[in-house]
Structure 1
């Protein structure tokens, strides 16, 4: 009995399980069908929406293309207008600049022509002055080629320096240093302490211009041999002049134990001093001091200061003697 009930229950449960299985199968089938339908509808909807989006994008692309074309046309039109305006303004500027350049150039040319004309006038005037100067140089050259005139030139220069540095009673011209010798020096400075009179410092001017000019010309040409020959000739002339002054005018106790050889140009003096050992030899052997205008002026100024010192001391001695005499009388 119990077994029958269990069998019946099992049979009932099996039938119920089958029924449930069938219902579940049917439900799953219906669910799958519903899902498929939903996916199909969704796909169709998405396709429709994508089609709408594509249509919209195509429309936007067409409108953008039309807008870009309009912008391009507008920009090209504006650029063309700007180019035309710039071309017109540049043409106006070119015309203005050309006009101003023409006016400026005309003014500059007029000023330049006037300046050139003035300068040419000055050149012509200068040429006239140069011709006059050339004539004067020619006269000077002719004067310098004359031995007597050259001597006068040196003597005049020496006299001018003496007038600047010394008082008139401190020197004399054409002095016979040694009495009865019949040898007269051009100028001589008066110094105290001579034999029966002043002690003379003889000064004689020499101007061996030919030898000096030959030396300068050879130096400018770069002729070494000619420079050596002219230099030796100039040195020999200076030695001869120093010997003449020494033998004719240096006679102690009537004169100082040395004399002065004056060269009237600084260039000639510098060339003589530049000769190795020449000035020392003249001082040592001939007792002759070589001077130029500057060195002679310095020597004369020194002598003038010495004169002032001697005069001051003489005045002091005279005052002292006078006072001693006054005291002795009292």
Structure 2
């Protein structure tokens, strides 16, 4: 409202200035007796107008004060109402928050109790399961320890057993015999066979080769088990001693070459035997170490004509020999079938001759039957003459009867 009053007073001032300016112009134009009166009237009018304006200003000021008082009262009432509403809203919000907090607390307590109960049950189950598993593992470990102890004792027994050369050779020979019995047919090999007449040397096993001959050649198979050199090699590998490992491999190579030369000198006796022999190693581990030495197997096969085989390779060769026996049996059966077919052909030729003679006899029999029928018709004519029937009166009937009788006879 202060701004409105200032604007009104500005307008009043501008109006006064405009009136004064107009009066000055009029005074300059009409200088005379009437000019003074005119100014006086203007002055009076101006005072009146000023007084009226002052009265209006006072009235406006009064109204403005009243408006300010009313506005202040309204604003006060609004502020009180707003304050009261805010206080009530704050109280309601506090109550709602307190109820929410209490509800959340109750729900959290219920959730905590449920979680604690389930967690307790899960922990108990897990502890029972873990304890049971621990007991089972402990039992299994005790059992395994017992088995390890038993295995250790057995290994010690095996070491003591294999420390004897004869026992070691007997074990290799028994294993080789089991393989031969499992693969070859009965009677396909001989044990402890003497290859030379008058010689005391006998080979452990001699396999008869599947060939057509009066005396089939033999394949000599001898088992060797150089455990000393092999154990030194394994011990050097366990100790990661490269120099000792090389020395053990050289010793094993030397031992094997010596044994191969002995087998070649004793057990390769053509034509009693084939041109080669087999040196059998009882374990695949030993054969793997021999095969790992570069060129050893090829050199022994080339120079000594001795094949080195282990438990994994020997059955394959024996199955090849067994297949040769099967082939021979098939060839013998083929020869028997050929002889049977030849005899059958001869019998068929004889049967053809018999059938030919039977056909000639059948032809002669047919001629005899025709002659007998002809004679029968002649006799029938003569008999009809004796019965008083003219033989010439019914020749057609006789011929028809004869034809019917021939047809019935042929059909019979």
Normalised-by-shorter TM-score class? 0.7 to 0.9
Structure 1 residue 282 corresponds to structure 2 residue 310: no
Partner Cα separation in structure 2 for residue 139 and residue 227 of structure 1? 26
Partner Cα separation in structure 2 for residue 198 and residue 220 of structure 1? 48
* Alignment correspondent of 1:188: 206
Change beyond 3 A, Cα 1:79–1:195: closer
From 123, 134, 137, the counterpart of 2:141: 123
* Alignment correspondent of 1:307: 325
Change beyond 3 A, Cα 1:276–1:152: same
* Alignment correspondent of 1:260: 278
RMSD: 3.2
Work out whether residues 253 and 290 of structure 2, in 8 Å CA contact, stay in contact via their aligned partners in 1: yes
* Alignment correspondent of 1:238: 256
Structure 1 residue 62 corresponds to structure 2 residue 115: no
Q: How many residues of Structure 1 are paired with residues of Structure 2 in the alignment? A: 319
From 78, 83, 88, the counterpart of 2:96: 78
Work out whether residues 301 and 307 of structure 2, in 8 Å CA contact, stay in contact via their aligned partners in 1: yes
Greater Cα shift, 317-326 or 110-119: 317-326
The C-alpha deviation readout for 1:72-126, integer Å capped at 9, x for no partner, is 3333343334334433443444344334433443343334333333433333333
How far has the Cα of 1:166 moved from its partner?
Answer: 1.0
How far has the Cα of 1:268 moved from its partner?
Answer: 1.0
The C-alpha deviation readout for 1:274-319, integer Å capped at 9, x for no partner, is 1011111101111111111121111112222233334434554566
Change beyond 3 A, Cα 1:33–1:87: same
Work out whether residues 264 and 277 of structure 2, in 8 Å CA contact, stay in contact via their aligned partners in 1: yes
From 247, 251, 257, the counterpart of 2:269: 251
Change beyond 3 A, Cα 1:107–1:319: closer
Partner Cα separation in structure 2 for residue 313 and residue 91 of structure 1? 94
TM-score, scaled to structure 1: 0.82
From 287, 291, 294, the counterpart of 2:312: 294
Greater Cα shift, 112-121 or 53-62: 112-121
Work out whether residues 193 and 203 of structure 2, in 8 Å CA contact, stay in contact via their aligned partners in 1: yes
| Unaligned ranges ≥5, structure 2 | 1-31, 350-412
Work out whether residues 195 and 253 of structure 1, in 8 Å CA contact, stay in contact via their aligned partners in 2: no
